[in-house]
Chains A and B, each alone.
Chain A
Amino acid sequence: MFYLSLIEHTLRLPPHILHLPVDEAIKSELETLFLDKVIAKLGLCISVYDIRSIKGGFIFPGDGASTYTVEFRLIVFRPFIGEIIVAKLKESDASGLRLSLGFFDDIYIPAHLLPTPSRFEAIPHTRNQGRWIWDFGDAEEAQSEEPRFVIDGSDPIKFRVDSVIYPSIPLEQPENSKPFAPMVITGTINYDGLGPVSWWEEAEMIQEDE
């Protein structure tokens, strides 16, 4: 889930923090710049791990700030394809599920990557919201009042990462669209052991074999 990345950056230290020791000032500047931001192909920056070297300290003419070339390591969140992650359900609508990790919310499970066959049961009077139900086993059992395999957000969901894309920043956006997501993870739960954790706790007890 997490990787270390070595970055070199030319950092300008504004004069108002020059009274602090250099490494502290540089660390806080780096944090303001990188923390909680997505770097394309690298991932979401979580933390500054350490500072390897600080060079420079030149002051360019006409500028009150000093400029340093810093080499440092960042902890980035970048799941690899095939990784299995536990997340909580955030939204569920006709096009699929949206999961959240607390620090990262743009995880989507599109409808075609849900276990087959699944069906969507919309909640009446809401626009688009509803819950997904997995029709496993006999048709009769699935049509009964309380189907066994519902995705309703009561427990965490295990999913496998299918792809991680970094869409480019759009030039213009229509008014009511979703805020731009610089990193989108697509997941699948169409496999044994994936999906809400409670589905598989039952499976152990009943000892269903595939």
Chain B
Amino acid sequence: MKIKEANAGALTNFEVLGFLRSRGASKDPTRVIVPIAPSEFKVYDYLVESAACNQTKEHVKEFLERCKSYKLAKAEVLNIINLRPSALVEIDPIIEESEKRFGEQLEELVNLVVEVLPEPPTQKLPEPESNEVKEDTMDGKNMDEDKTETVTVEQIDKDQIEPNEDGEQIVVS
């Protein structure tokens, strides 16, 4: 085996994701049919949760055009496209000597990123109320699964509506 060119081009996460998608990778469970190896699926799973999953070619092209004026190094542009920093504190570790080179302009750059590149899939932390509700349903489901052999679906619904203190009705599918 001979390595002809170890570095024939850097790829952004978005490009690798596009390549895997074009071969048929997707989130749903029909994974055995597509010609993609399990190890490639692991990469796909990682990329789909990163900031790259909603990006398109147009977004990336536009960003590259508009950030030319900032004279960023190639590695910095790559990092920014892969991570999509939405705050000053997020862009700080990406750019070297940010104060010397940018100072005020750094905020403009952050605004440019937020404007041009789409948001990553948001992973909101659950609020305390909905957390409790979820815990109730989880406990209810666990208890009922033991009884599922003898209990019908209607009875499971009734059992779970009762223990809820908030008075809300939980619909269990």
Q: How far is the CA of A80 from the CA of B42 in the complex (A)?
A: 21
Q: Please determine whether B89 and A192 come into contact, CB atoms closer than 8 angstroms.
A: yes
**Are A2 and B39 interface neighbours, CB within 8 A?**
no
Residue picked from A2, A39, A46, A193, most chain B C-beta under 10 Å: A2
Q: Are B1 and A8 in contact (CB under 8 A)?
A: yes
In the complex with contacts A80-B75, A200-B87, A46-B43 CB distance below 8 A:
yes
Min distance, Cβ A205 to any Cβ of chain B, angstroms: 11
Interface string of A149-175 (1 = CB under 8 A from B): 000000100101000000000000000
Whether B16 and A102, one on each chain, are in contact in the complex, defined by CB atoms closer than 8 angstroms, is no
Residues from chain B with Cβ under 8 Å of A160 in the complex: 93
A4 at the interface (CB under 8 A from B): yes
**Residues of B79-113 contacting chain A, CB below 8 A:** 79, 82-83, 85, 87, 89-94, 96
Q: Roughly how many angstroms separate A84 CA and B89 CA in the complex, as a whole number?
A: 13
Interface size class of A (residues with CB under 8 A): 35 or more
Q: Which residues of A contact B46 (CB under 8 A)?
A: 101-103
Q: A31 to chain B: which residues have CB within 8 Å?
A: 37
Residues of the B chain whose Cβ atoms lie less than 8 Å from the Cβ of A198: 125
1/0 contact string of B4-35 vs chain A (CB within 8 Å): 11111111110110011000000000000000
Instruction: Give the residues from 72 to 111 in chain A that come closer than 8 angstroms, CB to CB, to chain B.
Output: 73, 75, 77, 80, 82-84, 86, 101-103
**In whole angstroms, how far apart are the Cα atoms of A3 and B8 in the complex?**
7
Which A residues are in CB contact (< 8 Å) with B6? 3, 5, 41-42
Which chain B residues border A5 with CB–CB below 8 Å?
Answer: 3, 5-8
Contact B87 A84, beta carbon cutoff 8 Å: no
Q: How far is the CA of A61 from the CA of B114 in the complex (A)?
A: 63
What are the interface flags for A40-61 relative to B under an 8 Å C-beta threshold, 1 for contact and 0 otherwise? Answer: 0110001101000000000000
Please, which residues of chain A bring their CB within 8 A of the CB of B10?
Answer: 2-4
In the bound complex, CA of A9 to CA of B13 (Å): 27
Chain B residues contacting A136 (CB-CB under 8 Å) are: none
Query: Is the pair A36, B13 in contact by a Cβ cutoff of 8 Å?
Result: no
Asked if A6 is at the interface (CB within 8 A of a chain B CB), the reply is yes
CA distance in complex: A75, B9 (Å) = 10
Chain B residues in 8 Å Cβ range of A86: 50, 83
B79 x A84 contact (CB < 8 A): yes
**Residues of A with C-beta under 8 A to B61:** none
Which residues of the partner chain B approach A122 to less than 8 Å between Cβ atoms? none
A47 B20 Cβ-Cβ under 8 A: yes
Q: Does A35 contact B (CB under 8 A)?
A: yes
From A75, A82, A101, A203, give the contact of B16 (CB < 8 A). A75
Report the separation of the CA atoms of residues A192 and B99 in the bound assembly, to the nearest whole angstrom. 14
> Is the CB of B2 closer than 8 A to any CB of chain A?
yes
**Closest Cβ–Cβ distance, residue A67 to chain B (whole Å):** 13
Interface residues of A (CB under 8 A from B): 1-10, 31, 35-36, 39, 41-42, 46-47, 49, 71, 73, 75, 77, 80, 82-84, 86, 101-103, 155, 158, 160, 191-194, 198, 200, 203-204
Further 11 A-B residue pairs, CB within 8 A, beyond A83-B75, A102-B42: A4-B11, A5-B6, A10-B1, A36-B37, A71-B4, A75-B16, A77-B43, A80-B75, A193-B93, A200-B89, A203-B89
